[in-house]
A = this chain, B = another copy of it.
Amino acid sequence: MNPQRILVVGSVALDTIRTPYGEVTEALGGSASYFSCSASHFAPVSVVAVVGEDFPDTHRQTFTGRGIDLSGLETARGRTFRWRGEYMAELGHAHTLETQLNVFAEFHPKLTDTHRRIPYVFLANIDPELQLEVLAQMRRPRLVLSDTMNYWIARKPDRVLEVLRRVDVALLNEEEARALAGETHLTRAAESLLAAGAHAVIIKKGEHGALYHSHDERFLTPAYPVRALADPTGAGDSFAGGFMGLLARLDRADGGALRQAMACGTAMASMAIEAFSPVRLVECSGAEIEGRVRELHGLVHYDLFKMFD
């Protein structure tokens, strides 16, 4: 195995979160944090993001403890991006209580020459214009994965679609896929996004798993049946980390790799939501990840036999 490096461009934040199972104050958060902690189990990761002068050293050590390259983590004048949110009993949606963009408001990803040559790229949920800026700077990456959110779909649908056309795989959740495709039925929504020029989409359905759709492959992974749910924040980015992590580790994106990568994403998402902040993502072992991927396989696997003559 010859794991390839992964570049993630996204947010590093300080999250203050309350769920029915507890709360945290100014914990490490942000899409790039969840993604990189997750992906670092599979392959080396470089982060491009911005923090303020107040970003705690302990959080920096969380990244470096996992071997994550922070040479692209800019420290700008001012305060770090902060998000305050709350989840109710159903845990489906976060209620945002406060967003302070702070240094993130002026963020324009600046890539060094080394960053531009990284072969695997995750464009986390940021303004699609910034995602396109990053893509324009990259030197023939081997595989690019993107994420987005309803906020951008509502405001810049054409730019979001432009990103979809330019990346290899686009991650969306159910509501985002429906909103962007203008189609309620998920299979039809996925097909309509492919018809609009996307190469492949992954539709995340929360507790109902995730769906991979391309012109050649259609594949479904159930969610891992988590018992000790603590905080759903970061599930999607952790999924992305496991998914892209395995592809970069194998340096392959054929059907077999993609299918197991979906299970890796699912396993990492399940780790993320068992604790606040990326705590479980940081501490879990390869054996634990492997165990969950094996459990997911057992949950759907059967030997097909012929029934009718």
- Identify the A interface with B (CB < 8 A): 42, 89-90, 184-188, 205, 207-209, 218-222, 225, 227, 229, 246, 249, 256, 259-260, 263-264, 286-287, 289-290, 293-294, 297, 299-309
Closest-CB distance, A269 to chain B (whole angstroms): 15
Q: Are B294 and A308 in contact (CB under 8 A)?
A: no
Q: Are B227 and A187 in contact (CB under 8 A)?
A: yes
Across-interface contacts of A259 in B (CB, < 8 A): 301-302
Q: Are A289 and B308 in contact (CB under 8 A)?
A: yes
Q: Are A294 and B304 in contact (CB under 8 A)?
A: yes
Q: Are B222 and A302 in contact (CB under 8 A)?
A: no
Across-interface contacts of A184 in B (CB, < 8 A): 89-90
Closest residue of chain B to A205, judged by CB? B208
Q: Are B300 and A219 in contact (CB under 8 A)?
A: yes
Across-interface contacts of A187 in B (CB, < 8 A): 225, 227
Tell me which of B89, B220, B260 contacts A305 (CB under 8 A).
Answer: B260
Closest-CB distance, A289 to chain B (whole angstroms): 7
Q: Are A286 and B302 in contact (CB under 8 A)?
A: no
- Enumerate the 6 nearest inter-chain pairs by beta-carbon distance, A residue then B residue, closest first: A286-B308, A259-B302, A300-B300, A208-B208, A187-B225, A297-B304
Q: Are A289 and B307 in contact (CB under 8 A)?
A: yes
Q: Tell me, in angstroms, the Cα distance from A307 to B3 when the chains sit together.
A: 11
Tell me which of B256, B300, B309 contacts A220 (CB under 8 A).
Answer: B300
- Give the one of A259, A289, A302 with max B CB within 10 A: A302
Tell me which of B256, B287, B301, B306 contacts A290 (CB under 8 A).
Answer: B306
Q: Tell me, in angstroms, the Cα distance from A301 to B293 when the chains sit together.
A: 13
Across-interface contacts of A309 in B (CB, < 8 A): 286
- Give the one of A89, A221, A246, A264 with max B CB within 10 A: A221
Closest residue of chain B to A250, judged by CB? B307
